[in-house]
Amino acid sequence: MIHQRTAHVEGMRAHYLEVGDGPTLVLLASMLVRARTYAPLIARLAPHFRVLAVELPGSGRSSRLTQTWGLEEYADWSERFLNAVAVERAIIVGHSNSGAVALLMGARRPERVSSLVLADAIGARQSHSLFRLLLARAVDAALEPGLSARGWPDVAWNLLFHTGSFLHQVRLAARADVLQQAPAVVAPTLVAWGRKDHTMPLVCSARLRAVIPGSRLHLSEGSHDHCIAHADEFARSVSKFVESVAVPS
């Protein structure tokens, strides 16, 4: 059973889902959707991990922001979330916008990250055209019609209740650049990508791997949201990766 939880992080409400037993895996939900969007993935990770799927401020049922945040602020907040839920170190998984947050957390707070999974993360595109990004996102939505239909209410929720943050995140998806910070990541890192990702094309995965020391690659036949649409495959790849890099006790 997936449990609904609330934590308070320095006066801010953090809504998250908790399920499973084992090594703690913190799934940072993309700021454009809600944690429940990842329900298929959460269910498949739960047999292997204690999963905490958190909605970052400015999204979902977590606190609204009076001013929009950059990726660095989200990374610092994510560390404080670990403090609030009494987790010293965790496997950190980020997808799309939250993938860049996870990467910066690994670069800025390496002692808190046991391993890192970046699924189709923003921050490595060369084109900063917002129009091209939106067009590419429409293509990916068409490639995963079932997921798009299920996920649309969660996108609409954030657009309605966190309008400023949502629009800022769309702009960040086009303009963010984390390639300079990526070499500071020391945790074992899995770069997981959809071969058919148009939003963050496959070349973005190559750029990240080129600057993250020792990173590994998992390719899916899916698109930008393959971690949800192909949850079984993604969960297996994460489980195998974590097992392969675990430090013997």
Query: 63-95 pLDDT, tens per residue?
Result: 999 999 999 999 999 999 999 999 999 999 999
Confidence category of residue 247, pLDDT binned at 50, 70, 90: low
In this prediction, residues 116-135 reach a mean pLDDT of 96
Q: How many structural domains does the chain have?
A: 1
Helix or strand (DSSP H, E) at 211: helix 202-211
User: Taking Cα atoms as reference points, which of 175, 180, 184 lies closest to residue 126?
Assistant: 175
User: Taking Cα atoms as reference points, which of 109, 111, 135, 105 lies closest to residue 123?
Assistant: 105
Domain boundaries, position 90: 3-244
| pLDDT of the residue at 249 | 45
- 164 domain-assigned: yes
Helices (H), 109-183: 130-143, 145-161, 163-175
In this prediction, residues 189-200 reach a mean pLDDT of 98
- 8 domain-assigned: yes
SS3 15: strand
Confidence category of residue 246, pLDDT binned at 50, 70, 90: confident
Phi-psi region of 96 (alpha: psi -120 to 50; beta: other; left: phi over 0): left
Phi-psi region of 92 (alpha: psi -120 to 50; beta: other; left: phi over 0): beta
Q: Cα 238 to chain center, whole Å? A: 13
- 37 domain-assigned: yes
- 46 domain-assigned: yes
pLDDT digits (tens, 9 = 90+) for 18-66: 999 999 999 999 999 999 999 999 999 999 999 999 999 999 999 999 9
- At residue 195, what are phi and psi to the nearest 5 degrees? -60, -30
- 189 domain-assigned: yes
> Please, what is the angle between helix 130-143 and helix 163-175, to 10°?
100
Q: Residue 99 maps to which CATH number?
A: 3.40.50.1820
- 249 domain-assigned: no
- 53 domain-assigned: yes
| pLDDT of the residue at 41 | 98
Indicate the pairing of strand 216-220 with strand 189-194.
parallel
Q: Are 174 and 233 within 8 A, CB to CB?
A: no
- 216 domain-assigned: yes
